[in-house]
Amino acid sequence: MAALPDKERIMKSSRIQVGFDISKKKLDMCILERDGEVVLRHRSFPNSLEGYPAIKQSLLTTLAGEADYQGVDIGGESTGYYW
């Protein structure tokens, strides 16, 4: 696969979308680029005070990776009354 020109690479990877499936005991997370390319297919974290720093660290690690991400959009979907 040929390397993308700088302008196209920046447009392609300017933001990432993070999705959470929220349940009582865990949070399932996936991360996609704007074009739908998978950055992180699936990772589970405890839905607890111990799990939240791990989520933050995972996001910071992803943002600091090789791609030039300029921001993050986060959304969640719960399977119960968690809002």
In order of start, what are the domains of the chain with their CATH numbers? 14-78 (3.30.420.40)
Residue range 9-19: average pLDDT? 72
The chain-wide mean pLDDT, for the chain, equals 83
> At 49, which amino acid appears?
L
What DSSP character marks residue 25?
S
* pLDDT of 67: 78
For residue 28, which of 36, 15, 40, 16 has the smallest C-alpha distance? 40
64-81 pLDDT, tens per residue?
A: 887 788 888 999 997 777
Residue range 19-40: average pLDDT? 92
